Amino acid sequence: MSLLLEARGISKKFGGVQALKDVSLTIREKEIYGLIGPNGAGKTTFFNVLTGLYSRDRGDILFAGKALELGSPHLVAQAGIARTFQNIRLFGNMTALENVMVGRHMCTHAGVFGAILRTPGQRREEAAIRRRAEELLHYVGIAHRAGALAKHLSYGDQRRLEIARALATEPKLLALDEPAAGMNATETVALRQLIEGVRADGLTVLLIEHDVKLIMGLCDRVAVLDYGEKIAEDVPAIVQRDPKVIEAYLGGSVGE
Amino acid sequence: MKPYVRFPRWFGLALIALALLLLPHLLTQVGTAWVRIANFAILFIFLSLGLNIVVGMAGLLDLGYVAFYAVGAYVWALLASPHFGLHMPFWAILPLGALLACIAGAVLGAPTLRLRGDYLAIVTLGFGEIVRIFMNNLSSPFNITNGPKGITRIDGMNVAGMNFSATDTFLGIPFSGPTKYYYVLLLLLLLVIVVNLRLQNSRIGRAWVAIREDELAAKAAGINTRNVKLLAFAMGASFGGIAGGMFAAMQGFVSPESFVLHESIMILAMVVLGGMGNVWGVIAGALLLSFVPELLRYTVEPAQKALFGKMLIEPEVLRMLLFGMALVLMMRFRPAGLWPESRHKREMSEMKEEAA
């Protein structure tokens, strides 16, 4: 399998705290890649650097063979990385459908004049945006909630909606920041099926997760961060047995 | 499905159109002043719809909006008055005023892109004042704006030889100057409303609302927030430019005094009172805040004279008192405005239509 993403020596410091220290990792095409580590290990920081929310001190990221423009989220999105947020960030006063339609912004072009004049091209595009958004809502399984305001959706549905919005940008890499957080067992199973479906449709998935069972069952490869450093990167079976990982994070759960 | 569903809607629109067309003639019966008041109400609708794009949709609190009104007014005043001896036709200066206001909007918007909330409000407030002070002081060394004295004897509208400052008679019905302006404004209003509604339900409109809701998430969804915000400032400002041009034409006189902070606040109050983000709410807000003070002006004085035999409270004082009270009550009971934006309901009814 060819490489999709290669991070080289990413470092990030917040004041005196070294949040990321020389983190290098590679993600292959069409794999589900897990990023785990104890609280404060730097997972989300890495995520935010990758998706352009934070600037990095050192290092660079190659994505699909090109250097990623770090530090501007919309360019990262345009390069083909879509993300969700740990603390769900939806457009609360827009409907579920509209949230996904916003995700289509990047892949569409109609401007002010098209909108004012309602040109045939703009109308066609608008209809296509709507159709695609409806498809995506259906895909993540919340089509019946299309007309509801995002803030009125249940927690699990909000997570799904965020994934639908991310998918609307037609990414190559879908980056999910703790998607199973706060979900019950049934919801987690459904989420797992959704992620596997996304991969089956040809996308690559980067997953940050606390739920070790989910990560180990779902991911092709896993990287472990501890105090901002990568201490392991391999298939789950090997990572699970790595003494450094056990010490840093897994603790007793390996014996379960 | 139900055959009568379409008919009343069409019929209702026709009734509203008829009422709007007859309005100036009815108002003339009460007094020509009321036609002028109606005209100003329409100007304020332009202004508040323009500001609604910036504040209501994109969520950028702009306290210097009146600056763009000033730009539009001064463009008309300078290009159609004896001041420079230019007398350009309306079809050239009205779009030019809108265009220059649009550019001013982008230029003043650009430095504020990184600011949010209170900070944005303070900076835009400053910009509004800067524009006014410029108008006040650009009289030397080159006399461009004639300073605080303002520009007088501005040409009114002149369409195909029809002078808008005189009364004409068509089919035995007299059309006074303000009445003619009313019809022009009504036409422009229709245009402005259509533009607003179409923008609201477009890719750009959704991007504006997305920025208002969560700027970071909007960025992550691939929206170039810098460009989209500048677009909001520019589009909003262009409506201010159109309103300014019409203002100059109707008044025949502009001076920096017309473009003080108070006006910005007034326009903002119309947007907030009506319901941020909802075109119809904003129109209602603008109408309410334009007409109620005038009504007070004409009723409070006679009422007090009749009750107490003399004036106890000036209408102007009472106006501000009621205004303040109304805003406080609004914030207490209807914080989203009289007629708030409801994407929810709209979507729901659309879905029902589709299902039917």
Which of the pair, B273 or A101, is modelled with greater confidence? A101
* A107-111, A125-129, B267-271: segment of lowest average pLDDT: A107-111
Kindly identify which residue of chain B lies nearest to residue A108, measuring between CA atoms. Answer: B203
Query: Domain residues of chain B, as ranges?
Result: 9-274
| Cβ-based neighbours of B325, under 8 Å, separated by 6 or more | none
The verdict on a CB contact (< 8 Å) between A73 and B219 is yes
The verdict on a CB contact (< 8 Å) between A77 and B222 is yes
Which of the pair, A132 or B304, is modelled with greater confidence? A132
Residue B353 has pLDDT above 60, yes or no: no
Residue B354 has pLDDT above 60, yes or no: no
Each as own residue / partner, the long-range contacts of residues A195-200 (CB below 8 Å, 24 or more positions apart, any chain) are: A195/A32, A196/A32, A197/A139, A198/A163, A198/A167, A198/A174, A199/A30, A199/A31, A199/A32
Cβ-Cβ contacts under 8 Å, A148 against chain B = 344
Residue with tokens 């779009």: B95
B202 touches chain A (CB under 8 A): yes
| Residue among B122, B110, B132 nearest B62 (CA) | B122
Residue B264 has pLDDT above 60, yes or no: yes
Label residue B356 by pLDDT band (50, 70, 90): very low
Residue B355 has pLDDT above 60, yes or no: no
Label residue B75 by pLDDT band (50, 70, 90): very high
B224 touches chain A (CB under 8 A): yes
ipTM entry: 0.90
Query: Do the beta carbons of residue A155 and residue A145 sit within 8 Å?
Result: no
Give the span between the Cα atoms of B269 and B328, in whole angstroms: 12
Label residue B81 by pLDDT band (50, 70, 90): confident
pLDDT at B344: 45
Residue with tokens 């004085």: B301
Give the span between the Cα atoms of B63 and B51, in whole angstroms: 10
* A20-34, A242-256, B142-156, B340-354: segment of lowest average pLDDT: B340-354
The verdict on a CB contact (< 8 Å) between B351 and A146 is yes
Residue range B319-325: average pLDDT? 81
Alpha helices (H) in chain B, listed in sequence order: 6-30, 32-51, 66-79, 90-109, 117-137, 177-200, 203-213, 215-220, 225-251, 261-274, 279-308, 315-333, 343-355
Average pLDDT, chain A: 89
pLDDT at B318: 79
In this complex, which of B209, B218, B220 lies closest to A51 when CB atoms are compared?
B220
Residue range A204-224: average pLDDT? 88
Cβ-Cβ contacts under 8 Å, B351 against chain A = 146-147
Residue range A175-182: average pLDDT? 90
The verdict on a CB contact (< 8 Å) between A92 and B213 is yes
Cα distances from A189 to residues A142, A156, A186, B37, in angstroms, run 16, 12, 5, 65
Beta bridge partners of A17: A14
Task: Assign a CATH topology to domain B9-274.
Answer: ABC transporter involved in vitamin B12 uptake, BtuC (1.10.3470)
Residue to substitute from A75, A76, A81, A102, interface B, most B β-carbons within 10 A:
A102
B276 touches chain A (CB under 8 A): no
pLDDT at B7: 64
- H or E stretch including A174? strand A173-177
Label residue A256 by pLDDT band (50, 70, 90): very low
Residue A203 has pLDDT above 90, yes or no: yes
Residue B168 has pLDDT above 80, yes or no: no
* A79-83, A251-255, B59-63, B320-324: segment of lowest average pLDDT: A251-255
Q: Which of B59-73, B137-151, B154-168 has the highest mean pLDDT?
A: B59-73
Class of residue B226 by CB neighbours under 10 A (exposed 0-12, middle 13-18, buried 19+): middle
pLDDT at A250: 56
pLDDT at A90: 95
In this complex, which of B204, B220, B221 lies closest to A115 when CB atoms are compared?
B204
pLDDT at B5: 53
Average pLDDT, chain B: 86
| Cβ-based neighbours of A3, under 8 Å, separated by 6 or more | A26, A27, A28, A29, A62
Angle value at C-alpha A4, between A219 and A91, nearest 5 degrees: 75
Q: Which of A15-24, B334-343, B347-356 has the highest mean pLDDT?
A: A15-24
Residue A251 has pLDDT above 70, yes or no: no
* B12-21, B99-108, B200-209: segment of lowest average pLDDT: B12-21
The verdict on a CB contact (< 8 Å) between A165 and B221 is yes
Residue B1 has pLDDT above 70, yes or no: no
pLDDT at B294: 83
The verdict on a CB contact (< 8 Å) between A97 and B347 is yes
Cα distances from A12 to residues A23, A119, A171, A175, B219, in angstroms, run 10, 47, 25, 19, 21
Model confidence over B89-129: pLDDT tens digits?
Answer: 888 999 999 999 999 999 989 998 888 888 999 999 999 99
Label residue A255 by pLDDT band (50, 70, 90): very low
Cβ-Cβ contacts under 8 Å, A91 against chain B = 209-210, 213-214, 217-218
A83 touches chain B (CB under 8 A): yes
pLDDT at B348: 46
| Cβ-based neighbours of B31, under 8 Å, separated by 6 or more | none
Smallest CA–CA distance, residue A14 to chain B, in Å, is 20
The verdict on a CB contact (< 8 Å) between A95 and B207 is no
Give the span between the Cα atoms of B225 and A187, in whole angstroms: 34
pLDDT at B145: 86
Model confidence over A120-173: pLDDT tens digits?
Answer: 989 999 999 999 999 999 999 999 999 999 999 998 899 999 999 999 999 999
Cβ-Cβ contacts under 8 Å, A115 against chain B = 198-199, 202-205
The verdict on a CB contact (< 8 Å) between B203 and A125 is yes
Residue B36 has pLDDT above 60, yes or no: yes
The verdict on a CB contact (< 8 Å) between A74 and B351 is no
In this complex, which of A89, A108, A112 lies closest to B217 when CB atoms are compared?
A89
Percent of chain B beyond pLDDT 70?
93
